[in-house]
Structure 1
Amino acid sequence: MSPVLVNGKFLTQKMSGVQRYASELIRHYAAINPDVTLVAPAEGQLNSLYNMPCNIITTGSKAGLLWEQWQLPRFAAKQQQLLLNLCNVAPVMYKNKITCIHDIAFIRYPQFFSKAFYYYYKSMMPLIIRSSKHIITVSEFSKAELMDYYKLRDEQISVIPNAGFPMVQSVAAPMVQAPYFLFVGSVDPRKNLLLLLQAYSAAQLTQTQLVIAGAAYKSFNPELLQQLEQFKANPMIHFAGAVTNEELASLYQHAKAVIVPSLYEGFGLPVAEGLSAGCQVIASDIPIFREVAGEHAFYFKDKQTLTSLLLLLDKQDKRLNESGRDYVLARYSWKQSAALLKKTVEHI
């Protein structure tokens, strides 16, 4: 097999859905093509959570625009190797590359992003697409979105999906002893965490608590942060912040249900992770969640329906969602996605 370089900027970042996709896909791809090298910024602490099983080379300075658009492509040009970019952004001037674009949320919901982020992505994305040998994305939904907006042909883009969290029985003690619902994500406004908190408060539950797990709660939207802050006084709501892989596995393992209220996603990793852990899943009724979960989740379109579903599951004992687990494990696995990546690389 030909050697492959991977844009390893994500190794310096906190782990969210995009970074998890990159790390798990490369972890499994390296098992079938050992000649994989991650290229990371030389200045900056590598996040130990990733613990990648392949060669890592550092070059240039710290992560940022200069590193990704100048220092990384210069290094790749010297190696004359294919460069995989799995976190939306890629060096425009380096053409021997494959780029994964997870979604076009910044186009569909520009109000949820800072102006700087929006204009950077709006200007860069067409350049990245035109300069890439091939585009990959994470779902049929996102493929249709990209083909529609950027007028891509079917042969220019392939789907290499996410998969569920590699579930093993965690030995970590539950972070919350009482029955709880689980939200996994950031405070990105499109994740719609505020709606969940409002619905949970309206339900006035006394048995099932709510755990919010995800990256540090920062946002360019101070009004949203202020609205979220008022819920931290509720003793039934636990803001766990960033968690380790083992803690995340434990949270899924013991959750009564996983709640995913997003307005827009390219895939919806917590849906697949929740189902693969055998959890009940309550998800907003958007096309991508129907694609991932089929009929194996509860769906809602408004706060009232979400409140009713929380009340319904609050009264039930925790039960294994066997049909949902079997369904998602049969459709999605990192091993299958790695095989698709291998096929894509070989055909470039």
Structure 2
Amino acid sequence: MRDRDLLIDLTRLCSRHLEGLQPTGVDRVTLAYLRHYRARARALVRHGGRLLRLSHRASDRLFAALLGESANPRRDIQLSVAATHLANLRPKTGSVLFHLSHSGLEDPIYARWLGALDLHPVYFVHDLIPMTHPEYARPGEDQRHRQRLSTMASTGRGLIFNSTATWQSCQEHRRQQGVAPRVEELIAPLGAEPLPRPCRERPFADPYFLVLGTIEPRKNHLLLLQLWRHWLSLGEVVPKLVLLGRRGWECEQVIDLLERCPALAGQVVELHGCADQELSNWLAHARALLFPSFAEGFGLPVVEALSVGTPVIATDLPAFREAAGSIPEYLDPLDGPAWLSALRDYRDGGPRYHAQRARLRQFRAWRWEDHFALVDPFLARLRD
């Protein structure tokens, strides 16, 4: 690719970094693409009502800031974007553009920008959950997501799906709409970024269970908190429950339990975010990762936990089966007694716990090199 004419839309990643937010699963995908393609790419950002292509120098400075290689990343992000505003560099026509989040695609002006500049977008489809499960999304998010898919369909050169489950959801949406796919498509499972080696010292001396992800209705934290309150009332030795993730939207019942339930005080530990080293420590020493979610497009925490040898107890979802096979323990997300039975066994190091530990020896996570071994030739085909 001469003249680094591959573009990566980094608007969401820049915005979240400036807000001091830790990367989500969506952001980890963008960071992986940035690492893989940085030598061949320039940055694209949406700012001030314009679509800005950063220069080589500004792109390199922005890449370093987002990848943790800058002493002052906030300043470097702002300087990179400001310099581009002054230079007024428009994207080169005919460039391939990676848009790896769903951010901004609900705005019709984005499609007009792409058409006017003759860009060739390759979109990453993470899930269709706002449409398939609108009750777990913000009000109006289902319509916004429909517009995002419409933008992808009308402007895209290619679509990359994180799982067969997500691709099948998209196929069902098209069937209902009576439309056929008009772009090239690829299913490429996400890679698991190797985490730093965990410290030998455990975060807690006693066993604990871990939940990883934003607190929102879809993640079903409410089941676990109610279950922990009941478990504590039985007079048993109850492990701590660690919630690692920031508070999201429409989770008032969960927040009420966290802030106003005396029984849970000190027994449920809430952490709003952490760096990779701390994440590695929490994951590696947990008795199990708990994932009672109602819907997922992939479920990267499941793969990350299994990659470090930590058992997983999760909802029986197609995306989880696809990523982790039969290794996790799968349960109904509404069956509280079944979850309590499993938790007791894993607390005590019982037969179910040791059976999964044995299954774990067979697990091999996809790495990002496996992912890009599919994406690189796909991109080459799109450019021919």
Matched, 1:140 2:149: no
**Residues 227-285 of structure 1: CA distance to partner in whole angstroms, max 9, x if unpaired?**
44345843221101111111111111111111111110000111101110101110011
Query: Does the CA contact (< 8 Å) of 2:221 and 2:254 recur in 1?
Result: no
Aligned mates of 2:201, 2:249 — CA distance in 1: 30
**Change over 3 Å in CA distance of 1:227–1:156 after alignment to 2:** farther
TM-score, reference length from structure 1? 0.83
One-letter amino acid matched to 1:11: C
Matched, 1:206 2:237: yes
Unaligned runs of 5+ in 1: 62-70
Q: Please name the residue that 2:59 is paired with.
A: none
**Change over 3 Å in CA distance of 1:129–1:336 after alignment to 2:** same
Matched, 1:84 2:98: yes
Query: Does the CA contact (< 8 Å) of 1:42 and 1:58 recur in 2?
Result: no
Aligned mates of 1:25, 1:322 — CA distance in 2: 34
Aligned match of 2:216 in 173, 179, 188?
Answer: 188
Matched, 1:34 2:39: yes
One-letter amino acid matched to 1:115: P
TM-score, reference length from structure 2? 0.76
**Residues 10-45 of structure 1: CA distance to partner in whole angstroms, max 9, x if unpaired?**
233131111112212432x23xx72122334679xx
Matched, 1:310 2:343: yes
Matched, 1:258 2:258: no
Matched, 1:19 2:27: yes
**Change over 3 Å in CA distance of 1:224–1:254 after alignment to 2:** closer
Matched, 1:225 2:239: no
Query: Does the CA contact (< 8 Å) of 2:128 and 2:145 recur in 1?
Result: no
**Change over 3 Å in CA distance of 1:337–1:253 after alignment to 2:** same
Q: Please name the residue that 2:271 is paired with.
A: 240
One-letter amino acid matched to 1:314: R
Q: Please name the residue that 1:66 is paired with.
A: none
SS in 2 for 1:115: coil
Aligned match of 2:323 in 252, 268, 292?
Answer: 292
Q: Please name the residue that 1:65 is paired with.
A: none
Matched, 1:5 2:35: no
Q: Cα distance, 1:172 vs. partner? A: 8.1
Aligned mates of 1:121, 1:60 — CA distance in 2: 30
Aligned mates of 2:378, 2:10 — CA distance in 1: 19
One-letter amino acid matched to 1:163: G
Identity of aligned residues (%): 23
One-letter amino acid matched to 2:342: L
Aligned positions, number: 328
Aligned mates of 1:108, 1:114 — CA distance in 2: 13
Matched, 1:121 2:145: yes
Q: Cα distance, 1:187 vs. partner? A: 1.2
Query: Does the CA contact (< 8 Å) of 1:261 and 1:283 recur in 2?
Result: yes
SS in 1 for 2:166: helix
Query: Does the CA contact (< 8 Å) of 1:100 and 1:137 recur in 2?
Result: yes
Unaligned runs of 5+ in 2: 49-61, 71-75
**Change over 3 Å in CA distance of 1:166–1:38 after alignment to 2:** farther
Aligned mates of 2:251, 2:306 — CA distance in 1: 31
Q: Cα distance, 1:210 vs. partner? A: 1.2
**Change over 3 Å in CA distance of 1:150–1:115 after alignment to 2:** same
Q: Cα distance, 1:77 vs. partner? A: 3.1
Aligned mates of 2:308, 2:230 — CA distance in 1: 28
Aligned mates of 1:117, 1:52 — CA distance in 2: 35
Over the aligned positions, Cα root-mean-square deviation in angstroms equals 3.1
One-letter amino acid matched to 1:37: R
One-letter amino acid matched to 2:124: C
Query: Does the CA contact (< 8 Å) of 1:276 and 1:325 recur in 2?
Result: no
**Change over 3 Å in CA distance of 1:154–1:250 after alignment to 2:** farther
SS in 1 for 2:205: coil
Query: Does the CA contact (< 8 Å) of 1:275 and 1:321 recur in 2?
Result: no
Aligned mates of 1:170, 1:76 — CA distance in 2: 45
**Change over 3 Å in CA distance of 1:92–1:326 after alignment to 2:** farther
Query: Does the CA contact (< 8 Å) of 2:138 and 2:249 recur in 1?
Result: no
Structure with the greater relative contact order (CA < 8 A, sep ≥ 6): 1 or 2? 1
